Structure 1
């Protein structure tokens, strides 16, 4: 990684946020047009990328994009295909958890609908690939403020340097400070739930099967990793989640076994545990003059469908395509007529997914007998309708709707 001095030359695109979305956007832009001047600004040092203990579910379309960007070969050895998924609906005290819905993992021959990928491998791969193409890094350095001018946006970093760019992309997370500075309002509410994330080892192999158990407090997802390990996304009421995270390992593992079950043998925690508050956050607008939102800065949804990161990758593919095509036509990358194309492409899909995850969470995170009966009947009905299951798998794979070229594995 090389950090240039604070030269006053004009950047084409400045990206605030060095996570998956920011790095993949920088890589996509530089790969499509090496002459673009792209900088990533992030307050975290670059070596922090290799310390994230979590894993992420990457849909098939996003895998194609990562392959086109030249990083999948560095990730694939540690990526675990999801070969099957089952859905149950029960209470903790139930002796048996009937399976109401099953999905086969193949969308097409030889292509699973998703892979589980360790973050500690994916983030450095994106960082190294973007750097190799000439992306400029300002790390560790955050963006303090910015002013939009007719021909550029003036950026003021935490270290007191000043840069100019034709476009600023905020990829700084669901609590985006830049979104607030841009005056973009959000639709937001909290669910009173937190997601506990951790990794466990187990005696028996998972055979690439993912499980989602709908429990009264929220979904409990078991996602397969390489070897006899699984990543957990465990939803609980916030007070209970905080109590569990603070508890000793013995208490935590007892509560874990009640939800996980014993079908994979003895369990053992192999990673730290963290709890994250869950809510719905949707930006009312994705763009302003010389300013665009991407990833969680534009949308934060419930993890019940596992689509949060994949929506961010859709933003990347759409925004990169819009900007590269505008550049080829000699258009101003920060002009509103250019940025509106990106907003039209992504805003409806984002609001649609936000509504779907909100409804699913409200439907399944309760213990009302009547509601339980209706939803179980619905799950069973879907399980008996192959065409409808195919539509769900296509959505989970990331191929529903008009897809940007990168998500189809094509060059921009």
Structure 2
């Protein structure tokens, strides 16, 4: 079986990449280990995804945004960063950006559903082929083609293979590409909760001593009309296991206590889901006739809320590179094309990845020097307008730099 491009992984990034590449006469095959039913109706996984304005603009261009009901899109108007037990916070308001909100929050499974629906329509017109319940178990890299062996015994020959199969990408490992991996030794528990006091569409990042809490403001609960948020609790794995197994009453009481009752009474209104906290940065994004996108390229610490946004950025950069070369009659999988993509994506992600590592290291230490440094950083940030404007621009997503990067092509 032959294709021009094989994409491994049909998560939202893999699906969006397939769509971005469609319509140019390229034969595209998506390989996904999940079954077709799981892709058509993605299960709730607890994750609420923060989207920048740049990401929303691309989702509109790709036809995803209108497929998500307005009631499921929550405005992220402001943000606050707390440290320890102090009630003072670094406050980032939407007025520091060029928009009425810093961004939007949408459930991960709704993004997946919208992306699948778009791609399914293109499958019907033979632009994209799906291979579900399949897994890549081997890769042979040649000069003109790259061949993927599947668990079923089938073989796929393509001009370019793209990994979009998570930060722990087996495809990337098969290509012999190592990654710098930072295991924080903790896990995140995510769920939806209602609460008595309003969130004012403000996101919280609360670096407590021995824990990190996040609050992502959502639209009111559809059943009760109560204030509702996505709650993220980061603790050592054993503590997360205990919280997952606690009954609803005990869980509610503990989360109220952990949030110092600042939201009043809190009530669990969804299932609970846990994820290990690991950041990943590969030493290469590309190899001969091979590229990585999404988390397979950069697996960010969630404190920045930029994981999916970086994934969308990688789609835009790689798709532009491939299509530009293809329209010019050139080999779109040539080393020079892929290296330009790698250079662009590294420049746009590496500084924030390194900065995030420094911040998360500092804010996860509870000794006295770290506490003093944390308080000092928040105080400086709150009192320097330029710093606050920079953070607001980062949260909202700036298209200026992106335009410069695209123009470079």
TM-score normalised per structure 2? 0.90
Matched, 1:89 2:83: yes
1:122 is aligned, of 111, 117, 122, to 111
Matched, 1:43 2:33: yes
Tell me, in whole angstroms, the C-alpha distance in 1 between the residues paired with 2:180 and 2:264: 43
Partner of 1:101: 90
Partner of 1:79: 73
Tell me, in whole angstroms, the C-alpha distance in 1 between the residues paired with 2:31 and 2:345: 24
Q: Per the alignment, do residues 68 and 229 of structure 1 end up closer, same or farther by CA in structure 2, a change over 3 Å counting?
A: same
Question: Alignment length, in residue pairs?
Answer: 394
* Contact persistence 2:77–2:100 (CA under 8 A): no
Q: Per the alignment, do residues 106 and 321 of structure 1 end up closer, same or farther by CA in structure 2, a change over 3 Å counting?
A: farther
Partner of 1:57: 50
Partner of 1:376: 375
User: Displacement of 1:35 after TM fit?
Assistant: 1.6
User: Displacement of 1:43 after TM fit?
Assistant: 0.8
Partner of 1:176: 169
User: Displacement of 1:21 after TM fit?
Assistant: 1.0
1:16 is aligned, of 8, 21, 26, to 8
Partner of 1:150: 143
Tell me, in whole angstroms, the C-alpha distance in 1 between the residues paired with 2:149 and 2:403: 33
1:139-158 Cα offsets, whole Å, 9 max, x none, are 12222222112211112222
User: Displacement of 1:108 after TM fit?
Assistant: 4.8
1:248-305 Cα offsets, whole Å, 9 max, x none, are 3233222211122434332111122222221222100000111111111122222111
Matches within 5 A, 1:171-250: 171-227=164-220, 228-250=227-249
Matches within 5 A, 1:379-394: 379-394=378-393
* Contact persistence 2:325–2:331 (CA under 8 A): yes
Structure 2 stretches of 5 or more lacking a match?
A: 221-226
User: Displacement of 1:109 after TM fit?
Assistant: 4.9
* Contact persistence 1:317–1:404 (CA under 8 A): no
Tell me, in whole angstroms, the C-alpha distance in 2 between the residues paired with 1:160 and 1:376: 58
Partner of 1:346: 345
Q: Per the alignment, do residues 366 and 251 of structure 1 end up closer, same or farther by CA in structure 2, a change over 3 Å counting?
A: farther
RMSD, aligned CA: 2.2
Moved over 4 A (4+): 106-111
* Contact persistence 1:394–1:400 (CA under 8 A): no
Tell me, in whole angstroms, the C-alpha distance in 2 between the residues paired with 1:387 and 1:346: 26
Structure 1 stretches of 5 or more lacking a match?
A: 1-7, 92-96
Q: Per the alignment, do residues 379 and 401 of structure 1 end up closer, same or farther by CA in structure 2, a change over 3 Å counting?
A: farther
SS of residue matched to 1:51: coil
Partner of 1:285: 284
SS of residue matched to 2:149: strand
Q: Per the alignment, do residues 353 and 109 of structure 1 end up closer, same or farther by CA in structure 2, a change over 3 Å counting?
A: closer
TM-score normalised per structure 1? 0.90
Matched, 1:163 2:177: no
2:101 is aligned, of 112, 123, 131, to 112
Partner of 1:5: none
User: Displacement of 1:170 after TM fit?
Assistant: 0.4
Tell me, in whole angstroms, the C-alpha distance in 1 between the residues paired with 2:290 and 2:403: 21
Matched, 1:139 2:132: yes
User: Displacement of 1:62 after TM fit?
Assistant: 0.7
User: Displacement of 1:110 after TM fit?
Assistant: 4.3
User: Displacement of 1:341 after TM fit?
Assistant: 0.7
1:197-226 Cα offsets, whole Å, 9 max, x none, are 111122344231111111122421000122
* Contact persistence 1:174–1:300 (CA under 8 A): yes
Tell me, in whole angstroms, the C-alpha distance in 1 between the residues paired with 2:211 and 2:284: 30
Partner of 1:4: none
SS of residue matched to 2:391: helix
Partner of 2:336: 337
Tell me, in whole angstroms, the C-alpha distance in 2 between the residues paired with 1:399 and 1:355: 19
1:334-377 Cα offsets, whole Å, 9 max, x none, are 21111001100012333222211111111111222332222212
Tell me, in whole angstroms, the C-alpha distance in 2 between the residues paired with 1:62 and 1:255: 35
1:111-132 Cα offsets, whole Å, 9 max, x none, are 4222110122211111111222
Q: Per the alignment, do residues 188 and 213 of structure 1 end up closer, same or farther by CA in structure 2, a change over 3 Å counting?
A: same
